[in-house]
Amino acid sequence: MRIHGSKSPWPGFSCGVTEDEFLAVELAIERQVHHNGWFTEESVRTSFLNLGNWLSNEQLTNWTNKYSFTENPKVVAVIMAGNIPLVGFHDFICVLLSGNKVQCKLSSEDNKLLPLLALYLLQFAPELKEYISFSDRNLSGFDAVIATGSNNSLVNFESYFSKYPHLFRHNRTSIAVLDGTETKEELKALGEDILNYFGRGCRNVTHLLIPENFDLNLFFEAIVDLGEIVNNKKYGNNYDYNKTIHLLNLESFLDNNFLLLKESDNLFSPLAMLHYHSYTSQQEVDLYLQLHQDSIQCVVGHNYIAFGTAQCPSLSDYADNVDTMDWLNNL
Compute the distance between CA of residue 197 and CA of residue 108 in angstroms, rounded to an integer.
17
What per-residue confidence (pLDDT) applies to 137? 81
List, for residues 102-140, the tens digit of each pLDDT value: 999 999 999 999 999 999 899 889 999 999 999 888 899
Is the model's pLDDT at 31 over the cut of 90?
yes
Given this model, what pLDDT does residue 136 score?
A: 81
> Could you give the domains of the chain?
2-171 (3.40.605.10), 173-301 (3.40.309.10)
pLDDT tens, position by position, 174-219: 999 999 999 999 999 999 999 999 999 999 999 999 999 999 999 9
- Average pLDDT across the chain, whole number: 95
Determine if the pTM surpasses 0.85: yes
CA distances from 313 to 47, 96, 157, 305, 321 (A): 11, 19, 26, 10, 12
| Residue 258 confidence class, pLDDT cut points 50, 70, 90 | very high
Please say if the pLDDT value at position 154 is more than 90: no
Separation of first and last alpha carbons in the chain: 30
Q: Is residue 2 pLDDT above 90, yes or no?
A: no
Burial 202-224 (b: 16+ CB within 10 A, else e): bbbbbbbbbeeebeeeebbebbe
Distance CA 73, CA 191 (A): 43
* Confidence band of 324 (pLDDT split at 50, 70, 90): very high
Contact 191, 160 (CB under 8 A): no
Tens of pLDDT along 50-86? Answer: 999 999 999 999 999 999 888 899 999 999 999 999 9
Shortest CA distance to 79 belongs to which of 103, 105, 100, 113?
105
**Out of 62-76, 221-235, 243-257, 283-297, least confident range:** 62-76
Q: Using CB atoms within 10 A of its CB, is residue 154 exposed (0-12), middle (13-18) or buried (19+)? A: middle
Please state, in angstroms and rounded to a whole number, the distance separating the CA atoms of residues 189 and 71. 44
| CA dist., res. 90 & res. 109, Å (int) | 17
